[in-house]
């Protein structure tokens, strides 16, 4: 089985677990007054899991042509050592550190640092572009989430804000 079919099988298993959770676990915890609502909190996860199951099934069962040569963009699992695994693992590590730093450092600083470090890790060396873009992105995303959507994000570290 090729690498894309293994990934599709893994994705199918994840979508099945996610769908089971959306259909049975989330709906069982709903209060009675919400059960009459046409849209439940589990509606979007149900749609996502159904679409994921459909797409993974298509990838799994689409017949592969025998005469097709792999193109340069295809992933060859026999040559995984030739890919930039260090960059990928470094980026995953930065994502984990970013998630853990959001609460103590605040959204603006942790997002700025994550964007600058990740772009540096991926090969960008033009600091005069990286820093303004990271500042602008962090501020715009914080504004949209905080002010437009109304979801509270601590913008600065706890010691710089009034309150805890």
Q: Is the pTM of this model over 0.85?
A: no
Would the CA dihedral through 91, 92, 98, 101 be positive or negative? negative
Q: What is the pLDDT of residues 94-129, one digit of tens each?
A: 999 999 998 889 899 999 999 999 999 998 999 999
Say if residue 139's pLDDT is above 80.
Answer: yes
pLDDT tens-digit map of 143-156? 998 888 888 878 87
How far from 80 is each of 72, 75, 88, 145, 153, CA to CA, in Å?
14, 8, 12, 38, 39
Does position 163 have pLDDT exceeding 60, yes or no?
A: no
Q: Residue 21 contacts by C-beta under 8 Å, 6 or more apart in sequence?
A: 45
Evaluate whether 139 touches 112 at the Cβ level (below 8 Å): no
Above 90 in pLDDT, residue 49? yes
């Amino acid at each position: 089985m090729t690498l894309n079919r293994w990934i599709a099988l893994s994705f199918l298993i994840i979508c099945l677990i996610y769908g089971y959770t959306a259909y049975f676990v989330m709906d069982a915890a709903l209060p009675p007054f919400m059960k009459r609502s046409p849209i439940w909190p589990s509606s979007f996860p149900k749609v996502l899991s159904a679409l994921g199951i459909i797409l993974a099934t298509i990838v799994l069962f689409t017949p592969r042509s025998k005469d097709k040569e792999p193109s340069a963009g295809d992933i060859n699992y026999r040559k995984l050592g030739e890919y930039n695994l260090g960059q990928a693992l470094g980026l995953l590590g930065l994502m984990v550190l970013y998630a853990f730093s959001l609460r103590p450092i605040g959204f603006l600083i942790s997002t700025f640092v994550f964007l600058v470090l990740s772009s540096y890790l991926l090969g960008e060396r033009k600091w005069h572009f990286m820093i303004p873009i990271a500042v602008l992105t962090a501020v715009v995303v914080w504004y949209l989430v905080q002010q437009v959507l109304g979801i509270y994000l601590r913008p600065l570290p706890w010691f710089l804000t009034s309150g805890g």
